[in-house]
Structure 1
């Protein structure tokens, strides 16, 4: 499985274009070990809500679903583990249209609340799916990987801009020098 495109939308959603080559399994029915291993690694994932045509629980749906749908739920689970279950639940959606797109192309859209963590969760989920598929999952230390994402979340919160503070609300040591690149948002500093 390969991510071809990542687009962060203005609505705290990210849209991915994912492709699975013809040589690889498209569904978990063709690769049943993938959901079994993922549910052992991420037990809470099996209890996630899933809106599907059969009305099945995600555990049941995962027995015969598209690999990118499983990938969607894995991204949601990783983000949830990073924020330790605090906040509103994330949602996602997986779609495809092989009358227009090549067979094996999927569109995965997921919610996020931290762009940096979302990107890390996406890349980690991609590595996990591919490691499970190639039987190299033992090479990944999940606790360490989730810990790294938690650290990224902590650091990114420190550097994220506070919601529209006025100059009199900004502590003196946080103010940009007049005329500096930091004075105006959107100016790159080389």
Structure 2
């Protein structure tokens, strides 16, 4: 179909496409798809874990994953210790005594120094802070939590630590109360 009209001495053409009712239904009923695939290169030299699923990948490859709109692919290098706050916690001082989750991604030895201060002032510049070392021995499957170094006013004297060894299919989870003294935990 062609429609002509004149405006300012020029001819304009408008194209219309005609569809039969069955063609129109087919277009309306066609499933709408959105490709939510993300491509990520995982560097060689280590294995990598999908942060959300715990799935393990060999490094040196490109991984394509379908991701819902509310999920961004994050990969953690094997041999990492990742501290987490409890789900739903909005800010650090909301629940100062909240447990810490420590996620261990096996596959290599790892160390991490956990640092705490009052989260509100510059008192840490005067040494008002506390630290303790976390050491993962992959061959022995042990986590050593070192003695707390330092202190600060309002410090939580005894904190719950939820240690999660991220193993695809079945995480090993241990919960301990840490009061500043060294601890060693054995995992299967």
Structure that is richer in helix per residue: 1
- Judging by fraction of residues, say which structure has more strand: 2
Q: Which bracket does the TM-score occupy, shorter chain normalised?
A: under 0.3
Per the normalisation by structure 2, the TM-score is: 0.22
Tell me the TM-score normalised to structure 1 length: 0.22
Higher relative contact order (CA 8 A, sep 6+): 1
